[in-house]
Amino acid sequence: MRPSGMLRKRRMYRGLFDRGIWFFSIYQEIQLESVAVNVTIQDFVADVESKLFFRNKQQVSEEIMFVFPVDPDTVVYTFYATMGDTRIEAMLWDKEEAQKLHKATSGMENLRYLQDQPDIWGPVFVCFLGTLPPNRDVAINLCYIQELPLHTDGAALFCWPQDLFPQHMRFSWQISEDEILENLHFRICLQSACGVSHVDINSSHTPLQYTAPDQTSAEVWPCQMPESQSGKVSLKSTPWHFDDLQLLVYYKRPHNLSAVVESRDPKAAPGSLLGDSVVMVTLKPSIPEVVPSTGQLGEFLFLIDCSLFQDAQNTLLFLLKSLPVGCYFNIYSFGATFKAFYPQSVEYTQESMDNAVRRLSSICPDLGGCDLLGLLKSIYSTPLLHEHPRQLFIFIQRKISSEEEAIMAEVHRYRDDQRCFCFPVNSCDSFNLCQAISLETKGECVCIHSKLDMTSEAVKCLQQALKPLASEISLHWDLPPGLEVTMIRKAPESIFQGHQSIIYAQIHGQAQDPEADVAAVTLKYLVGSQSFNYTLRFSLFPSADDRLPVHRMAMMHLLWKLSRDGTSRSEKGIWQNAVTFSLSLGVQSPFTSSIAVRMELMDTWHHDSLPLDSPMLLPPSHNLVPCQLLWCGFRPVWFNSTKFWMVQKFQFCLEMLHPKASDAVVLTKLSSPRKEQESPPEELVMEEPPPFHISWDWKISPLSTRLCDFSSLRAVVALWKANGSWDLTSALTLALGLSKAEVKGQKPSKHVKPTAWATVLALVWLHRYKWRVSWSELLEAKSCRWLQDQTEIHLNECLEAANSLLGCLVEPIIFRM
């Protein structure tokens, strides 16, 4: 979500806005004087009408432009600026015609130079507004629609950036009610068939005012309104200085399933998207935290920048050991070219894990290019595995050269089929790209600030990726006879815990019974082996909304679908329909482009001061203004957090005080099976690697290194089997600091299998370090699942013997039995 706009001078400033997305602050001399905002929120979609009044406080004229970052879930459908008697309005054109107009428009270089600015990244809507004289105002009218993110507690989250509050209010300790009344008008309407429970705003305000007896609609004024308004809520203070205004909307019943129906446009022909009703359905499956299941589903793909090969090998080893039996996985390395361990993902077994571990050392350094685009295209061309949702772990250090837009287009195309966890290193030029990829796929981006935390951060994300999810999702419609549904955006095959999905469908046809006004939709899905279904009944005749927010969002997804399907100009009918759709609702698409037009040429307030070549004096045909949706290159983010700087300095001092120990003994023999390895199958893409000889330089905090013997921990992990158990070998007893005679002498009874006894021993030994190594929970959980599946293992006896042998006091709860 990036609902931020800015009036800029020719130089650039920068700042941060919600969820790490750039917000561009204004120049101090061109101040935001007052704001009027009207927001309508229906379930998880917000329709925003805003009017921003800026004033040039300088004594000289300034060239200005408006920049509005947009994301894939935002549709800007109205933009115009008013300066005196002049109005500059953005309009959509057929893309081919717009390109011709761009060539004929002077000043396009004023936009293109933005693409090289270090503080702008991703897609932005830009309009050059010309010259603003001293002490003059410009009014910006901006309307957009956006799908709201789901807050962790289930609320809909709407944000308004602090930079779009009047500047004198943001930096004042005391603000009078008269000032708020005069300069800040903020009205929020809430609508939901589920009923509005309450709202939470990060500033003091008066109570919520319901406007319907059943509490399905309400209004909030987070700033004082005139007395003639019925039902007002006053903002008693602005958000604290540099905070964005955040509104959380809580609904009366859980949003497992909700629907919003928007009536047709009466001026449009029936059968078209505008001429039919559209339903927006929000899917948020209820997923239990703990699911009884025989295995964990998923396809895990690890993408490694070859320039990180030395550090990533150790992290990869731990990730491989932590995967659950029954999932699928593959490993890719990329540089100037890319290679895969396997042509397609393989099932995770002891054999495939051992083979992958042996092949880690075949990842060779490659300091050439960075072909992430080719790798992603190759991955996306492989079919999804049924019941195995795809999750990518991307480790990257180098800059992606001139392919950011193409990469994001690929990610956007398949965003419902994957989730990406990205790990850029601290100085990586591709940090913003990684952040955009993770946001697009509802994953997570974790910046690796030093080599110390790569393993721990990756394992934390793996823990998140292993949480239960909803799979085999399907929707079933029950409509009155004569009505049908056509899906515009289909439901995904799976939804991860804590996430939601919004789908759109067109309702067309003629009901046989004109009085039939109720339909139903049923959501069905699986969590593990458990089946769930929810049925929702909804009205087919809601109140009309002239702004058609649901139709606009549905239109956006339809246009992107046509683009993804490869619709070209040669398919004239489809292309023309797409252009017509786009122009009819002002929804920009791959088939259209923006250009602005300057209207009302008579300029009364500084006509005499205009230079002879001013655009305002040119014929109307030349009054085109630079305006375009641009893709700006990705640049590194430099954090200015004092706390972060201090943490890094502290870690550096620890490293200086505790130099790195000499490399541990090579553990090739420990991590390999005791029997001779069979030759890998011929279909493997990578050539057979040399013997596995990683330098086991595990990157763990120096402070933690002093608290336990990590050389033993490395050995124990290397001996860990794919199913979570350990074999009772002399190598394991040595790693545990025990002798073979001690282990044999303390074995509870002859009925206890050696593998079960070894696993309990290793699990108790590992538990001692749980508070020092946070990611050891994955080790414990996997081993406990294996123990739970065993019979006659005499856990109480084994635990008592292991505690006695290792000098521990581990409770039986460790086994989760």
pLDDT band for position 626 (cuts 50, 70, 90)? confident
Q: Quick one: pLDDT at residue 681? A: 36
Q: Quick one: pLDDT at residue 785? A: 85
CA–CA separation, 323 and 462 (whole Å): 8
698 pLDDT more than 70? no
Q: Quick one: pLDDT at residue 306? A: 86
Angle (CA) 27-33-38 rounded to 5° is 115
Tell whether 798 is covered by a domain. yes
What CATH number does residue 451 fall under?
3.40.50.410
Backbone angles phi, psi at 578, to 5 degrees: -65, -45
* 422 and 283 both lie in a single domain: no
98 pLDDT more than 90? no
* Exposure string over 141-167, b if 16+ CB within 10 A, otherwise e: bbbbbbbbbbeeeebbbbbbbbbbbbb
Q: pLDDT of 199-244, one tens digit each?
A: 888 876 667 778 777 777 777 766 543 332 333 344 445 555 557 7
Q: Quick one: pLDDT at residue 633? A: 59
Any idea how long the chain is? 817
Q: Quick one: pLDDT at residue 726? A: 92
Pick 428 or 488 by higher pLDDT.
488
| 8 Å CB contact between 537 and 516 | no
Q: Quick one: pLDDT at residue 300? A: 97
171 pLDDT more than 50? no
Q: Quick one: pLDDT at residue 816? A: 64
Q: Across all residues in the chain, what is the average pLDDT? A: 76
Q: Domain boundary residue among 516, 538, 557?
A: 557
| 8 Å CB contact between 35 and 183 | yes
Tell whether 509 is covered by a domain. yes
Sole residue written with tokens 């109140």: 543
User: What average pLDDT does this structure show over 618-643?
Assistant: 54
* 262 and 336 both lie in a single domain: no
176 pLDDT more than 70? no
User: Which helix (DSSP H) or strand (DSSP E) does residue 580 occupy?
Assistant: helix 572-585
Pick 678 or 541 by higher pLDDT.
541
* 420 and 324 both lie in a single domain: yes
Q: Quick one: pLDDT at residue 221? A: 63
Q: Quick one: pLDDT at residue 276? A: 92
Paired sense of beta strands 184-191 and 30-42, if any: parallel
Of 383, 430, 385, 382, give the one whose Cα is nearest residue 408. Answer: 430
Tell whether 21 is covered by a domain. yes
Q: Quick one: pLDDT at residue 8? A: 41
* 463 and 489 both lie in a single domain: no
User: What average pLDDT does this structure show over 741-763?
Assistant: 87
Q: Domain boundary residue among 526, 557, 588?
A: 557
pLDDT band for position 784 (cuts 50, 70, 90)? confident
Pick 394 or 643 by higher pLDDT.
394
Cβ contacts of 169-176, under 8 Å, gap ≥ 24: 169/238, 170/238, 170/241, 170/242, 171/241, 175/237, 175/238
Looking at the DSSP assignment, which residues form a beta bridge with residue 220? 188
Dihedral of CA atoms 533, 534, 535, 539 in degrees, nearest 10, equals: -150
Of 781, 358, 282, 771, give the one whose Cα is nearest residue 536. Answer: 282
Strand order from edge to edge, sheet including 624-625? 209-210, 217-220, 184-191, 30-42, 45-56, 137-147, 74-83, 86-94, 592-599, 624-625
Neighbours of 350 (CB within 10 A): 12
* 262 and 344 both lie in a single domain: no
Tell whether 57 is covered by a domain. yes
* 356 and 309 both lie in a single domain: yes
Q: Quick one: pLDDT at residue 243? A: 72
Q: Which of 162-176, 177-191, 575-589 has the highest mean pLDDT?
A: 575-589
Helix (H, G, I), strand (E, B) or coil at 577: helix
pLDDT band for position 395 (cuts 50, 70, 90)? very high
User: What average pLDDT does this structure show over 478-503?
Assistant: 92
Sole residue written with tokens 């046509």: 562
Dihedral of CA atoms 626, 630, 636, 639 in degrees, nearest 10, equals: 70
Q: Quick one: pLDDT at residue 142? A: 93
Q: Quick one: pLDDT at residue 9? A: 40
* 74 and 173 both lie in a single domain: yes
Q: Quick one: pLDDT at residue 284? A: 92
Sole residue written with tokens 């009610």: 177
| 8 Å CB contact between 602 and 620 | no
Paired sense of beta strands 245-251 and 156-160, if any: antiparallel
Q: Quick one: pLDDT at residue 774? A: 59
User: What average pLDDT does this structure show over 371-399?
Assistant: 91
* 461 and 515 both lie in a single domain: no
Q: Quick one: pLDDT at residue 45? A: 93
- Cα Rg of the chain (Å, integer): 30
Of 446, 441, 436, 434, give the one whose Cα is nearest residue 418. Answer: 441
Tell whether 661 is covered by a domain. no
Helix (H, G, I), strand (E, B) or coil at 349: coil
Count of structural domains, the chain: 4
CA–CA separation, 54 and 349 (whole Å): 63
* 178 and 263 both lie in a single domain: no
618 pLDDT more than 90? no
What CATH number does residue 202 fall under?
2.60.40
Q: Quick one: pLDDT at residue 169? A: 55
Q: Which of 77-91, 175-189, 422-436 has the highest mean pLDDT?
A: 77-91
Pick 816 or 274 by higher pLDDT.
274
By CB atoms closer than 10 A (0-12, 13-18, 19+), residue 122 is buried
561 pLDDT more than 50? yes
544 pLDDT more than 60? yes
Q: pLDDT of 110-124, one tens digit each?
A: 666 666 666 666 778
Tell whether 688 is covered by a domain. no
Pick 379 or 681 by higher pLDDT.
379
647 pLDDT more than 90? no
User: What average pLDDT does this structure show over 730-751?
Assistant: 86
Tell whether 628 is covered by a domain. no
Tell whether 354 is covered by a domain. yes
* 396 and 510 both lie in a single domain: no
Q: Domain boundary residue among 413, 444, 467?
A: 467
pLDDT band for position 806 (cuts 50, 70, 90)? confident
| Region of poorest pLDDT, from 89-98, 577-586, 587-596, 676-685 | 676-685
Q: Quick one: pLDDT at residue 637? A: 33
* 455 and 540 both lie in a single domain: no
pLDDT band for position 409 (cuts 50, 70, 90)? confident
Q: Which of 90-99, 174-183, 403-412, 498-507 has the highest mean pLDDT?
A: 498-507
186 pLDDT more than 90? no
- Structural domain boundaries enclosing 542: 257-288+473-557
pLDDT band for position 691 (cuts 50, 70, 90)? very low
* 111 and 149 both lie in a single domain: yes
Share of the chain above pLDDT 90, in %: 24
